[in-house]
Amino acid sequence: MTNQTVFRPATAPVSPSPKHDQPNVVARFFANQTAVLIIVLIGMVVLFALINPAFFSIGVFGNILVDWAPIALIAIGETFVVISGGIDLSVGSTITISGVVAAFAMQAMTTAGVSDALSIVVGAVVSLLVGLLVGLVNAVLINEAKLVPFIATLATLGAGAGMALVLTKGGPVGGGPPTAINLSVPVLGPFSYPVIVVIVLAVIAGAFLHRARFGRYTFAIGGNQFSAVASGISVKRHILKVYLLSGGLAGLAGMVTYLTLASGSPSSGLGDELNAIAAVVIGGVSLTGGVGRMSGTIIGSLILTTVTSGLIVSNIDPNWNQVVVAILIAAAVTLQTLRGATHRRKS
């Protein structure tokens, strides 16, 4: 082909780097949501440590991370779901139902004299399978029954929570492996085994979101579903995978929660779907789909759990938690909107 057919749109040339778009250093900094989030997190830790120096300890950090682990798991799944243009409201009740079913399984095995280690491994597998089943139901409702994700997962939220209550008759399910609770004790600084597992899973999930085909399709579908279809992507199959992932991670979160309580509780995951959504929104994931970063979700979920522990350590009524979280969500979305506005002005 010769040069005469070179098609160069008459508009200004595309600058090779997004940095050239930012008017100045301050604006550029606020455009990087991850950097802002890290500053907010560090600021919180410093603030709470100033209020009560006891906050700055491995013990408190260990507790924060134990609280963080299940929230981080469901927030990781929620990140994929929301970027794909959906929402998964069922993750909280999946924590509950998977923890309860796993608790029954482990109770039966412990009663039968099975070793603690094997019981715990089986419990983890059971909770994972329960979570995958919820994810499968969600995907079928969305793909085949054509329900919008909000309604589909609202249905499984209700069904899961209700079934947990029916199965447990409202009480906790104990009698599992006696040494299970030890797993929530930090083994390396503030890190316990479940926390280490969650960190590894977060890194893997981040790699799949930002460096692999799986993530790319997730962004493509959430940004413009037709473009994904037109590009030959099997959208239904991908949506199935995304909800299976979210369900499976919520199932594992149920097991992690079991390990901290040493029992399956019918209220263990109550309301956690809102924590997951708060974490991803604070982390910069757009609820309209197509935008987000795993690092944002991870720091967002850390901020959430840090606020909860910090308020307790600071002797502030923990009910302020919800108010603080609400402010954080509003601030995060405002930041996003402002960023969107700068982009729009340029195009």
Binding site for another protein (CB under 8 A): 1, 4-11, 13-18, 21, 207-208, 211-214, 216, 219-220, 222-224, 226-234, 290-291, 343, 346-347
- Could you give the CA distance from residue 215 to residue 291 in angstroms, rounded to a whole number? 11
Least Å distance between CB 87 and another protein? 18
Cα–Cα dist 69/59, whole Å: 15
Question: Smallest gap, in angstroms, from Cβ of residue 285 to another protein?
Answer: 12
Conformational region of residue 77, where left means phi above 0, alpha means psi within -120 to 50, and beta covers everything else: alpha
The least distance separating another protein from the CB of residue 231, rounded to whole angstroms, comes to 4
Give the CA count within 13 Å in the CB-facing half-sphere of 72. Answer: 28
Output the smallest distance, CB 295 to another protein, in A: 17
Between residues 227 and 334, which has the closer beta carbon with respect to another protein?
227
Task: Pick between residue 102 and residue 238 the one whose CB is nearest to another protein.
Answer: 238
Q: Are the CB atoms for 100 and 167 separated by under 8 Å? A: yes
Dihedral, CA of residue 168, residue 174, residue 175 and residue 179, to nearest 10: 150
| Phi (first) and psi of residue 12, to 5 degrees | -55, 145
Q: What is the dihedral angle through the alpha carbons of 301, 304, 309, 310, rounded to the nearest 10 degrees?
A: 120
Listed in sequence order, the residues at least 6 apart from 74 whose beta carbon sits closer than 8 Å to its beta carbon are: 91, 92, 94, 95, 246, 249, 250, 253, 272, 273, 275, 276
Give strand pairing partners of 173.
264
Separation CA 96–CA 16 (nearest Å) = 48
| Minimum CB distance to another protein, residue 328 (Å) | 24
Q: Residue 222 phi/psi, 5° resolution?
A: -70, -30
CB nearer to another protein: give 324 or 335: 335
CB of 208 to another protein, least distance (A): 8
User: Which of residues 159 and 233 has its CB atom nearest to another protein in the complex?
Assistant: 233
> In this complex, which beta carbon is closest to another protein, that of residue 122 or of residue 233?
233
Token pair 């995060």: residue: 332
Task: For residue 181, report the phi and psi dihedrals to the nearest 5 degrees.
Answer: -60, -25
CB 156, min distance to another protein, A: 28
Strand partners of residue 264? 173
Task: For the CB of residue 147, give the shortest distance to another protein in the complex, in Å.
Answer: 21
- Shortest Å distance, C-beta 217 to another protein: 8
Burial track 210-233 (b if 16+ CB lie within 10 A, e otherwise): eeeebbebbbbbbbebeebeeeeb
Q: Which is nearer to another protein, 248 or 290 (CB)?
A: 290
